[in-house]
A and B are shown apart, each in its own frame.
Chain A
């Protein structure tokens, strides 16, 4: 079998898709910025209620997942299939850790009666309602991307096991990695905006 893979084309397609993702999240960041401008003190108070330790831990978890992802690609390119699989599993473990921490964060807030349209939240000033609305919308959409990214990486793992992604033909793993790094990029901005700027 002699197939000439168009790596540039394959990666260009992935990048173009990622740009639509940047603009999707960009629109939400714009919304956040406009409301931060309108309700600075309400955002400050509401932001203080988020758990900085959990947020920072999740930042470290996602950064490490991106590192493992990059290592997995480097390993495969160098021909170390087993190493590549190991790093990919570590990436998936980090993705799972992120989701578990996020689950506890959301549960704690929901138990305190803070969720969209809850009586507890609606009794608060408009700025805080908007803050938590954006919090659930943006971290929720991000969480969905973590789940989808995890699925994509699992599929990449399966393809490596099947011998369809190899040291000679690794563009699928590279493109999955690009998607995963984008998930990390979005969180790099979500973390300071929601947890720290307050």
Chain B
């Protein structure tokens, strides 16, 4: 038999299904919102909804909510690096054109 020395948190069927429902609702919201023209805000609205959806997937489906702090820190650092790369690129192209 395999021995176990680590705690595993099992996400219930119910919670998984609630997250699935929320993701479907948010998909409907983002499609509906795209029918209106908010100008530049279109991008902001669409990406905000996508970020919330990504957060739900990462926290619950990928169990990050139940992982050790180490996992949370490195996930944060990864997205921070991406944000820095995107931010600095836009300092450049934003002032170029």
Assess A8 versus B68: contact at CB under 8 Å? Given A30-B89, A197-B46.
yes
- What B residues does A69 contact at CB under 8 A? 61
Interface residues of B in 6-32 (CB under 8 A from A): 6, 8, 10-13, 16-17, 19-20, 23-24, 27, 30-31
Q: Count contacts between A and B, CB distance < 8 Å.
A: 134
In the bound assembly, the distance between CA atoms of A168 and B86 in angstroms comes to 42
Q: What are the interface flags for A88-121 relative to B under an 8 Å C-beta threshold, 1 for contact and 0 otherwise?
A: 0000000000000000000000000000000000
- What B residues does A191 contact at CB under 8 A? 50
Query: Could you tell me the distance in whole angstroms from the C-beta of B6 to the nearest C-beta in chain A?
Result: 5
Q: Are A26 and B2 in contact (CB under 8 A)?
A: no
- What B residues does A1 contact at CB under 8 A? 1-2
Residue of B nearest to A69 (CB): B61
Q: Are A181 and B34 in contact (CB under 8 A)?
A: no
In the bound assembly, the distance between CA atoms of A23 and B53 in angstroms comes to 19
Q: What are the interface flags for A1-30 relative to B under an 8 Å C-beta threshold, 1 for contact and 0 otherwise?
A: 111110110011001100100110011011
Q: Which of B5, B42, B78 contacts A19 (CB 8 A)?
A: B78
Q: Are B93 and A12 in contact (CB under 8 A)?
A: no
How many A residues touch B, CB cutoff 8 Å? 55
Q: Which of B30, B42, B61, B78 contacts A23 (CB 8 A)?
A: B78
Q: Which of A56, A70, A73, A191 has the most CB of B within 10 A?
A: A70
**Quick check: is A176 within 8 A (CB to CB) of the other chain?**
no
How many B residues touch A, CB cutoff 8 Å? 52
Q: Are A12 and B50 in contact (CB under 8 A)?
A: no
Interface segment out of the listed A31-39, A129-137, A145-153: A31-39
Query: Could you tell me the distance in whole angstroms from the C-beta of A102 to the nearest C-beta in chain B?
Result: 17
**Quick check: is A51 within 8 A (CB to CB) of the other chain?**
no
Q: Are B10 and A23 in contact (CB under 8 A)?
A: no
In the bound assembly, the distance between CA atoms of A67 and B50 in angstroms comes to 17
Query: Could you tell me the distance in whole angstroms from the C-beta of B15 to the nearest C-beta in chain A?
Result: 9
In the bound assembly, the distance between CA atoms of A38 and B57 in angstroms comes to 32
Q: Are B10 and A192 in contact (CB under 8 A)?
A: no
Which residues of B does A touch, CB under 8 Å? Answer: 1-6, 8, 10-13, 16-17, 19-20, 23-24, 27, 30-31, 34, 42-43, 46-47, 49-50, 53-54, 57-58, 60-63, 67-68, 70-71, 74-75, 78-79, 81-82, 85-86, 89-90, 93-94, 97
9 contacts between A and B (CB under 8 A): A2-B3, A7-B8, A23-B82, A26-B85, A67-B19, A70-B11, A78-B10, A166-B2, A177-B61
